[in-house]
Structure 1
Amino acid sequence: MAGRRRVRGSGVSGRWAVPGPLFAPLCVPLVVLLLVGLVACGGRAGADSARADVQRVLDRRAAAVLDHDASAYAATGSDAGYAAVRAVPLAGWSYRVTGLHRSGDSATADAELSYRVDGYDKAPVTVGRTLRLARDGGGRWSVTSEKPAAKVGEQLWDQGTVRVVRGAHSLVLGVGQSDARLRSFAELADGAVPAVSAAWGTDWAGHVVVLVPKSLEGMAGLLGSPASAYRGIAAVTTGETGGGAKAPADRVVVNPDAYGLLGQVGRQVVLTHETTHVATRAHTNGATPLWLSEGYADWVGYRETGRTPAEAAPELQQVVRDGDVPEALPADGDFGFSGDANRLAQAYEGGWLACRMIAERWGEVKLDAFYRAVGEHRTRPGAVEGALRSVLDTSLEQFTADWRAYLRAQLG
């Protein structure tokens, strides 16, 4: 916000107090300047007053959400969103007005909404929101609508009334889903959490929040991307990598359309995979290649299923049997959702088999140590090479050759 400019006035001294025509031309500009300064200050004061009034309205609105007070919420304006968010267990909910654009008795407010899900979020999730307001004859502002800010993903309650199911290690929030289906996701998540802790350890939150929108389009709306980017993707995990213990919590966002095509084992593998991302997030950053982060998540997901490489890596098996063994570990670009589906599958399978090889040859403890060592480097150049030397006592060239031989042995 621009600083407030200070208007400095000048008095008319005795030497300007001369009679005749000379007085007016010298005096009038000074009077005009003073009036302009007063008007400018008055306009700024009015804008500041309106912004403060709107902030107070939003403060009352936020308090009503936390207090589950429908009447108090309605007193701040439109109550269209109250029922949608009412069931969500919240430990915090607040708005901060960042900009106000007025046109007579209507206004548009830019605001930051910060909220925490009770028992799950260690720090607030902050998202941009746009609110429209109207002023009545008594000068009182009220909210007429609220929506995500431009280029910002939706919140689940923007899509309809949220239903909530609690599991032993999970909280499942859904829109347009039956309680029975939401319970099935809670059961999968409750199975995923101990499986992840058994592989990775217990130095993470030990619980997960799962969002189940009504459709693929709903999933895309939550992620702020086109639906075409996630067609065929069963679930994704949001959250800032490398954020540490106080970073806003991850959310596992489900694609109900794709999820319905999976069998029971596939559904469990997917939830365990995504929960692994939640557990490892603090040790995952720009230094971590996707073959490692995605491969490790798949390794944990398949760890207790008994699935063989031929069963879990059919796309990669085909190219290996065709004599086209990959020359290098999968690149980050191979994991793009909007690219070739076979290439994407081969990238995931290649990363999984790299992690599987480490676990078999060096041991699971070394696999975890390797993952953490890469993340400790913080930047990509030298991260994998350094961790390979310090943890596995090998080089990238030798590791790649070993991986290619492993593919032939497991898939040939």
Structure 2
Amino acid sequence: MAGRRRAVGRAGCLVAAGALLAGVAGCGADAPRTDARSAAVQDVLDRRARAVLGKDAAAYRATGGADPYLLLDLAAVPLDSWAYHLTRLDGSGSRVRAAAELRYRVDGYDTAPVVAERTLTLLREDGRWRVVDDEPAAKSGEQLWEQGRITAVKGAHSLVLGVGQQRSVLASYADIADRAVPAVTDAWGRRWARRVVVLVPESLDGMGELLGSPAASYRGIAAVTTGEAGGSGSAPADRVIINPEAYGVLGDLGKQVVLTHETAHVATRAVTTPATPLWLSEGYADWTGYRGTGRTAAEAAPELRRAVREGTPPATLPEDADFGFSGDSGKLARAYESGWLACRMIAERWGEAKLNAFYAAVGEHQRRAGAVEGALHKVLGIGEDDFAAKWRAYVRSELGDGS
């Protein structure tokens, strides 16, 4: 692990930590005992949460010895809320394993809580339950404070939280984020929180731990944005996570484009649904990132330009699978560039307001089937086949020999 946590075994009858049950059931225990024990475990988790919010070290220690550095590592983070919701309890006797949702909000930045799935081990000693271990649930990512003490830098529109990073570096990222937020607002409008939280781990390995995925999956990826698709009208608490190794070697323009791209994802999340294809969500984010930079199509889409000049231009807009982080960097680049040019074409030929309206109209659907076709007719007055043909011609005209 990138953090300092020790490895913990997963013995016992633990089921998927994300399962939400109407009743909290245990293994090998009758219902009355389980209910009483669940209430006692929830009580200690409530006391633990209050201790974290109140920065009360003595009260925190009284709930158990798990993660003794938590209050120190969190000291710089302005928390608005912190709570545990018990979802399952397993085990019998004096040792149990609990699945719980940790829900927390950063004051001034989160309009909805971050929800992290946790697995906790508790022991009952002298008639009291105590937390002896607290770790991410299976297939869940670490939280940044599990990797060390957090340094926080607050910008005008941003909060940058880092581990193992110099404050000057974090301050430079806050400056970039502070330019990204108004740039996104100028493109998308004011219908979002207009602030962003940026996480900067110490290394690529730390990034992988935060995302709960192998670090190799993100090698060469400068940044990603976490968050659930919206569509309910309320934006979740997104986080932009920086890969310090890839992001750090970018030039000034590259850093700005990347962070503006990721901030666009934050802004549009509430209207991004399962119906939104990646060519549109990634293409729109790239369009926002490059907007106003003066970069030409040939400069911003070199892989697609190479394909056009070699006589192998794309026949269709990219599928979602084309955006996977695989070993084929050229294919991935062409997918992003294709989506960007599609959005650029809409902005140029129909106007930026129509591009925004088209994005939102696609997101009104919860299913992919018919979403793009319906939004094209509704907003642009064009069918999907005709749109694809215009896009192919646009790609050739922008990236052909005359570009």
Looking at structure 1, the residues matched to 256 and 131 of structure 2 have their Cα atoms a distance apart, in angstroms, of 43
Shift of 1:218: 1.1
2:354 to 343, 366, 379: 366
Q: RMSD value over aligned CA atoms?
A: 2.0
Looking at structure 1, the residues matched to 258 and 24 of structure 2 have their Cα atoms a distance apart, in angstroms, of 54
1:108 to 97, 105, 121: 97
Q: How does 1:314-393 map to 2 (within 5 A)?
A: 314-393=302-381
Offset from partner CA, 1:338-369 (integer Å, 9 cap, x none): 25110000010011111111111111111112
Shift of 1:173: 1.1
The residue aligned with 2:41 is 54
Is the Cα contact below 8 Å between 1:65 and 1:86 reproduced in 2?
Answer: no
How many residues are aligned here?
376
Q: Is 2:152 the counterpart of 1:191?
A: no
- What SS does the corresponding residue of 2:139 show, helix, strand or coil? coil
Looking at structure 1, the residues matched to 169 and 256 of structure 2 have their Cα atoms a distance apart, in angstroms, of 14
1:77 to 46, 49, 64: 64
Shift of 1:194: 0.3
- CA pair 202-186 structure 1, distance change in 2 beyond 3 A: same
- CA pair 4-304 structure 1, distance change in 2 beyond 3 A: closer
Q: How does 1:215-226 map to 2 (within 5 A)?
A: 215-226=203-214
Looking at structure 1, the residues matched to 145 and 229 of structure 2 have their Cα atoms a distance apart, in angstroms, of 25
Looking at structure 2, the residues matched to 168 and 71 of structure 1 have their Cα atoms a distance apart, in angstroms, of 35
Code of the residue aligned with 1:51 in structure 2: it is S
- What SS does the corresponding residue of 1:315 show, helix, strand or coil? helix
1:277 to 265, 272, 288: 265
Looking at structure 1, the residues matched to 159 and 92 of structure 2 have their Cα atoms a distance apart, in angstroms, of 43
Code of the residue aligned with 1:249 in structure 2: it is A
Looking at structure 2, the residues matched to 101 and 382 of structure 1 have their Cα atoms a distance apart, in angstroms, of 44
The residue aligned with 1:8 is none
- What SS does the corresponding residue of 2:82 show, helix, strand or coil? strand
2:170 to 171, 176, 182: 182
Code of the residue aligned with 1:207 in structure 2: it is R
Larger radius of gyration: 1
- CA pair 45-317 structure 1, distance change in 2 beyond 3 A: same
The residue aligned with 2:55 is 68
- What SS does the corresponding residue of 2:101 show, helix, strand or coil? strand
Percent pairwise identity? 64
Q: How does 1:130-145 map to 2 (within 5 A)?
A: 130-136=119-125, 138-145=126-133
2:76 to 70, 83, 87: 87
Q: TM-score, structure 2 length as denominator?
A: 0.88
Shift of 1:114: 1.3
Offset from partner CA, 1:236-276 (integer Å, 9 cap, x none): 11111124343431111111111012111000000000110
Code of the residue aligned with 1:260 in structure 2: it is G
Q: How does 1:286-301 map to 2 (within 5 A)?
A: 286-301=274-289
The residue aligned with 1:122 is 111
Bigger CA drift: 352-361 or 90-99?
90-99
Code of the residue aligned with 1:106 in structure 2: it is R
- CA pair 4-132 structure 1, distance change in 2 beyond 3 A: closer
Is the Cα contact below 8 Å between 2:225 and 2:238 reproduced in 1?
Answer: yes
Structure ranking higher in helix proportion: 1
Q: Is 2:246 the counterpart of 1:258?
A: yes
Q: TM-score, structure 1 length as denominator?
A: 0.86
Is the Cα contact below 8 Å between 1:274 and 1:297 reproduced in 2?
Answer: yes
Bigger CA drift: 217-226 or 378-387?
378-387
Code of the residue aligned with 2:348 in structure 1: it is E
Can you give the 5+ residue segments of structure 2 that lack an aligned partner in the other structure?
A: 1-20
- What SS does the corresponding residue of 1:356 show, helix, strand or coil? helix
Code of the residue aligned with 2:122 in structure 1: it is L
Can you give the 5+ residue segments of structure 1 that lack an aligned partner in the other structure?
A: 6-39
- What SS does the corresponding residue of 1:384 show, helix, strand or coil? helix
> 1 or 2 for the larger relative contact order (CA 8 Å, sep ≥6)?
2
The residue aligned with 1:12 is none
